[in-house]
Amino acid sequence: MTRLKGMLTGFFQQADLVLLGLCCAATLYGMVLIASATHYLGTEGMIRYVGVQGVALVLGICGYIFMSLVDVEIIMRKWKWIVAFNIVFIGLLITPLGVGGDTTGNQAWLRIPGIPFQIGPAEVVKITFTLLLAKQLAWLREDRRDLKSFRSALLVAGHTLALMGWYVIISNDMGNALTFFFIFLCAAFVAGFALRWFVLLFLGGGAAFTVAWFLNLIPSYMMDRFRVLFDHSYDTLDTGWQQSRSLLAIGSGGIFGQGYMQGTQTQSSYPGSLPARRTDLIFAVCGEELGLIGCLVVIALLAAIIIRVLLVAKNSETPFQCYVCVGVAAMLIYQTVINIGMCLFVMPTIGVTLPFFSYGGSSILTLYLAMGLVSNIKLRSPTMHRRGLILRT
């Protein structure tokens, strides 16, 4: 009991409470937006969604504290078990626990009895993948292997592409699969991989995409999502509907918005109004009701969180710690840019939520676990180890 008290005291003295405060501020702001986005469902519906988000926030804070105290590097000695976990956890999507998400055939969620929200395996695996990737990059560096060599690039890229392929085959969810790819790009760049491999990767990927496009190997719905970006009048009643509604909502908000819980589309129960308003298009809700000012606050909070994570990466003691922080920052950057770009009709619709703001219990919980990893890295120091404030497993 004394040791636990000492660890908690050490947490409040040394953990990144600024990061935790920023995350809580963003989540609470998101809950305010979710309350408005679900107001049209009635009081019961609004309370249910806000309540689930609130429970996820409390669990997330507990997860943040736990991840701040656990010795991650000791856990990573069992990296083979983590690899197996990633494979099996994603594989659960093809069991009766798997839940489909939309008309494109995505099956990216798990419904587990007793848990008040669905769990997205990709959300959890983003964390374990980041840890494994950081471990792999640190091992290559510590083993004095040439990070600029083709063999090193192939090892890391192969790990990433194998996980992406497994996830896409199982779930048909390309949006979250690309998150893994962006984490890989950022971590590999910081680790010092040769620029020629990045150039080769982009040229090869671009060529493969072009060939697949002209040979009609890409699903038609996915091709339409790219076409509509260059022609906003294309298929406005189907493919372009979601983004057209979003852009209209944001534009109608002006600088100060139409007023909280007074948005024309946000408060409408008409089926043709703003879709996915509590999840993918929460930013459009903010733009319509709180205007440009409200949107800038959202962007400022997310930017502050990302900068804070990168500062911890800069001051980290080991390559492994640095790569973990970079991976977490990359995850946040990717989701933020894609989601806001999607709402502004400059990015394709790929079902990526806005971190901390969009509704989703599993998303909130895993985000706080990821932030806890960053706090863990800030917390870990020779002084903290001497005091016994790190929870060893």
Question: Distance between CA 384 and CA 184 in Å, rounded?
Answer: 31
DSSP structural state of residue 266: T
Mean pLDDT of 91-112: 77
Residues in the chain: 393
Say yes or no to pLDDT of 223 above 50: yes
Say yes or no to pLDDT of 388 above 50: no
Q: What residue has token string 């249910």?
A: 48
Mean pLDDT of 367-383: 84
Least confident of 146-155, 217-226, 300-309: 146-155
Residue type (1 letter), 295: C
pLDDT at 192: 87
**155 Cβ neighbours under 8 A, 6+ residues apart:** 136, 140
Q: What is the pLDDT of residues 248-278, one digit of tens each?
A: 999 999 999 999 999 999 999 888 889 999 9
Cut 0.75: pTM above it:
yes
DSSP per-residue codes, 292-303: HHHHHHHHHHHH
Residue type (1 letter), 190: V
Residue type (1 letter), 28: L
Q: What residue has token string 């736990």?
A: 66
Say yes or no to pLDDT of 354 above 70: yes
Question: Distance between CA 352 and CA 103 in Å, rounded?
Answer: 16
How much of the chain, in percent, has pLDDT values that exceed 70? 91
Question: Distance between CA 201 and CA 341 in Å, rounded?
Answer: 24
Token couple for 125: 């695996």
pLDDT at 7: 65
Say yes or no to pLDDT of 313 above 90: yes
| Three-state SS at 170 | helix
Mean pLDDT of 308-325: 93
Q: Are 273 and 236 in contact (CB under 8 A)?
A: no
Q: What is the pLDDT of residues 317-348, one digit of tens each?
A: 899 999 999 999 999 999 999 999 999 999 99
Q: What is the pLDDT of residues 40-53, one digit of tens each?
A: 999 998 999 999 99
Question: Distance between CA 195 and CA 25 in Å, rounded?
Answer: 38
Say yes or no to pLDDT of 59 above 90: yes
Mean pLDDT of 82-100: 90
Question: Distance between CA 34 and CA 172 in Å, rounded?
Answer: 27
Task: Return the higher-pLDDT residue of 113 and 299.
Answer: 299
C-alpha of 246 from chain center: 21
Say yes or no to pLDDT of 10 above 80: no
Average pLDDT of the chain?
A: 88
CA nearest neighbour of 174 among 338, 328, 351, 363: 351
pLDDT at 201: 87
DSSP structural state of residue 110: E
Q: What residue has token string 């999840």?
A: 279
CA nearest neighbour of 282 among 254, 257, 249, 311: 249
Task: Return the higher-pLDDT residue of 238 and 382.
Answer: 238
Q: What is the pLDDT of residues 183-214, one digit of tens each?
A: 999 999 999 888 888 888 889 888 998 998 88
Say yes or no to pLDDT of 384 above 80: no
Residue 101's pLDDT band, with cuts at 50, 70 and 90, is low
**107 Cβ neighbours under 8 A, 6+ residues apart:** 93, 94, 98, 99, 100, 101, 170, 171, 172, 173
Q: What is the pLDDT of residues 122-160, one digit of tens each?
A: 999 999 999 999 999 998 887 666 677 888 888 899 999
Say yes or no to pLDDT of 216 above 60: yes
Mean pLDDT of 106-112: 83
Say yes or no to pLDDT of 385 above 60: no
Question: Distance between CA 48 and CA 38 in Å, rounded?
Answer: 9
**43 Cβ neighbours under 8 A, 6+ residues apart:** none
Residue type (1 letter), 188: A
**349 Cβ neighbours under 8 A, 6+ residues apart:** 225, 239, 242, 243, 280, 342
Task: Return the higher-pLDDT residue of 76 and 10.
Answer: 76
